[in-house]
């Protein structure tokens, strides 16, 4: 027989009452809390370049709602309900710049790039923050294992442009992405040879045949690629493939396009020669990079297919003092001599062209990214160049379709992503204003977050 003392009864009663209280709490209806309203920002006293028109919009203010542009309103009519009001001080407002040919991981030296990947990642994160402060708010990464950096930027771990990653560049053996030392013992891996440089790091893939191409493309999509990059001609920076070499068979290119289109996205191609570009376009590629030896036939086909084009001028200037070996020097001279013809044909046939740089393996040189815009003044007006760097860039990254992880970019209009730059001088009068960002760029907003304000 158990005899409970008065003290025990009180203690047990207290325990029971506590349990009852907890159960009652759990049983009580849960009242959902309303999510916090996104911050509202009003930007006033600006002339607006909308990314598509060569004429500035005046007499309008811009309203941001969180990470999107809510609307344009007549100046002074926005009301007072804003969390922040930014006086543009008579400046010139533009969407953020979009570089459609950038390599986030290639800011180190070439030796470091093929070395410790932890160092490469840290270096890339630092450089991404610097790039954002130049006004570049979006990049299409055109080969490299930058999936971790994309996640770090998206989640706010580190500042930087939003990233559209291609993942590893897909190359044939002896193609532009094959950087193995040239010796007889370096057989393809299928024949017992070693894996190529950069392959185990996820920066490059060497494939042969339709089956391997399908697997390679699907692997990049599995990792998070928004579009696919293949090399279909020789390249300036590689040793074993002259620019005229056509790389990948039509069947291999078709395989890449099929696998990408199954995921709702597209294939872009590194292509210098006209023949290589034509083969790529005929088999479904929708974006051509470089095109230093394009003829009018290739550009007409680009227009017929609705494909887009990215040229690179600043990179050639930077490589001239570096590529002094006879193989790469000859290819660089060849590319520089032919680039202007491709540009003129593209202008003639109305090809959508983006701002693209392809700067690599020189952190200091990459700080001159925006000089690409100045070099284009030889071929285009300043308004045309600004459209390439904003509205056209938005169209190009938007080609990812169902694979697009972001909203509309490159324009100042309702519903577009809230990427805003304000310059103290008019870039439509001279695009060199943009290149001198340290003196002229006064406000940087990406995704509705202010990263610089010296107005």
Q: What CATH number did the domain enclosing 343 receive?
A: 3.20.20.140
- Residue 9: pLDDT over 50: no
Are 193 and 186 in contact, with CB atoms under 8 Å apart?
Answer: yes
Question: Does 101 lie in the same domain as 45?
Answer: no
Instruction: In whole angstroms, give the CA distance from residue 283 to residue 249.
Output: 10
Question: Does 431 lie in the same domain as 343?
Answer: no
**Which helix (H) or strand (E) element contains residue 90?**
strand 84-95
Task: Flag whether 15 is in a domain.
Answer: no
Of the three residues 327, 357, 378, the one that is the final residue of a domain is 378
What are the residue ranges of helices labelled H in 133-168?
147-154
Domain range for 53: 40-95+414-453
Of 358, 367, 372, 364, nearest to 432 by C-alpha is 372
Over residues 185-214, the pLDDT tens digits come to 788 888 988 888 899 999 999 999 999 999
Task: Flag whether 396 is in a domain.
Answer: no
Question: Does 103 lie in the same domain as 88?
Answer: no
List residues bridging with 453 in a β-sheet. Answer: 443
Over residues 373-427, the pLDDT tens digits come to 999 999 999 999 999 999 999 999 999 999 999 999 999 999 999 999 999 999 9
Are 284 and 245 in contact, with CB atoms under 8 Å apart?
Answer: no
Question: Does 235 lie in the same domain as 112?
Answer: yes
Tell me what percent of the residues of the chain surpass a pLDDT of 70: 93
Question: Does 105 lie in the same domain as 53?
Answer: no
Higher pLDDT, residue 22 or 422: 422
pLDDT at 32: 57
Question: Does 301 lie in the same domain as 250?
Answer: yes
Question: Does 145 lie in the same domain as 56?
Answer: no
Question: Does 339 lie in the same domain as 256?
Answer: yes
The alpha-carbon radius of gyration of the chain (Å, integer) is 27
In total, how many domains does the chain have?
2
Of the three residues 359, 378, 397, the one that is the final residue of a domain is 378
57 CB-near residues (< 8 Å, 6+ apart): 47, 48, 49, 50, 72, 412
pLDDT at 103: 97
CA 134, chain centre distance (Å): 15
pLDDT at 17: 42
Question: Does 233 lie in the same domain as 104?
Answer: yes
Distances from the Cα of 187 to the Cα of 46, 190, 202, 246, 327, angstroms: 61, 8, 20, 21, 22
pLDDT at 359: 96
Q: How confident is the model at residue 16 (pLDDT cuts 50, 70, 90)?
A: very low
Say which DSSP state 355 is in.
-
Q: What number of CA atoms fall less than 13 Å from residue 53's CA on the CB side?
A: 10
Task: Flag whether 391 is in a domain.
Answer: no
Q: What CATH number did the domain enclosing 67 receive?
A: 2.30.40.10
Task: Flag whether 306 is in a domain.
Answer: yes
Over residues 37-82, the pLDDT tens digits come to 889 999 999 999 999 999 999 999 999 999 999 999 999 998 888 9
Structure tokens at 56: 């500035």
Question: Does 328 lie in the same domain as 186?
Answer: yes
Over residues 325-381, the pLDDT tens digits come to 999 999 999 999 999 999 999 999 999 999 999 999 999 999 999 999 999 999 999
Question: Does 289 lie in the same domain as 192?
Answer: yes
Say which DSSP state 403 is in.
G
Q: Whole-model pTM?
A: 0.91
Question: Does 257 lie in the same domain as 239?
Answer: yes
Over residues 242-258, the pLDDT tens digits come to 999 999 999 999 999 99
Instruction: In whole angstroms, give the CA distance from residue 87 to residue 70.
Output: 18
pLDDT at 19: 40
Give the sign of the dihedral formed by CA 146, CA 149, CA 155, CA 156: negative
């Amino acid at each position: 027989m158990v005899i409970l003392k008065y003290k025990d009864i009180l203690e047990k009663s207290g325990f029971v009452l506590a349990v009852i209280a907890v159960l009652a709490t759990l049983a009580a209806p849960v009242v959902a809390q309303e999510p916090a309203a996104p911050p509202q920002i009003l930007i006033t006293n600006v002339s607006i370049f909308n990314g598509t028109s060569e004429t500035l919009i005046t007499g309008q203010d811009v309203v941001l709602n969180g990470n999107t542009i809510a609307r344009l309103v007549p100046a002074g009519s926005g009301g007072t309900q804003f969390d922040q009001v930014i006086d543009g001080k008579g400046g010139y407002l533009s969407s953020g710049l979009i570089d459609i040919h950038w390599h986030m991981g290639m800011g180190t030296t070439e030796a470091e790039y093929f070395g410790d990947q932890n160092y490469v990642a840290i270096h890339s994160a630092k450089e991404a923050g610097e790039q954002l402060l130049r006004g570049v708010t979006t990049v299409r990464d055109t080969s490299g294992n930058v999936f971790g950096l994309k996640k770090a930027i998206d989640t706010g771990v580190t500042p930087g442009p939003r990233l559209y990653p291609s993942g590893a560049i897909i190359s044939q053996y002896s193609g532009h992405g094959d950087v193995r030392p040239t010796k007889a013992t370096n057989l393809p891996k299928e024949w017992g040879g070693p894996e190529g440089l950069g392959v185990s790091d996820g920066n490059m893939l060497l494939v042969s045949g339709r089956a391997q191409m399908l697997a390679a493309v699907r692997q990049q999509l599995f990792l998070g690629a928004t579009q696919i990059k293949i090399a279909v001609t020789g390249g300036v920076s590689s040793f074993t493939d002259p620019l005229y070499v056509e790389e990948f068979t039509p069947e291999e290119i078709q395989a890449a396009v099929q696998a990408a289109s199954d995921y709702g996205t597209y294939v872009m191609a590194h292509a210098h020669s006209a023949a290589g570009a034509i083969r790529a376009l005929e088999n479904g590629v929708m974006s051509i990079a470089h095109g230093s030896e394009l003829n009018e036939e290739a550009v007409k086909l680009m227009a017929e297919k609705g494909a887009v084009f990215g040229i690179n001028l600043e990179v050639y200037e930077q490589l001239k003092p570096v590529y002094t070996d006879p193989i790469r020097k000859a290819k660089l001279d060849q590319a520089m001599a032919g680039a202007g013809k491709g540009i003129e044909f593209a202008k003639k046939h109305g090809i959508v062209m983006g701002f693209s740089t392809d700067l690599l393996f020189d952190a200091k040189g990459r700080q001159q990214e925006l000089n690409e815009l100045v070099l284009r003044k030889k071929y285009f007006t300043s308004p045309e160049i600004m459209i390439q760097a904003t509205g056209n860039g938005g169209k190009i990254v938007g080609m990812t379709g169902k694979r697009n992880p972001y909203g509309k970019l490159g324009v100042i209009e309702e519903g577009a992503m809230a990427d805003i730059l304000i310059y103290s001088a008019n870039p439509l009068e001279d695009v060199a204003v943009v290149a001198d960002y340290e003196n002229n760029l006064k406000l940087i907003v990406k995704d509705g977050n202010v990263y610089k304000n010296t107005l």
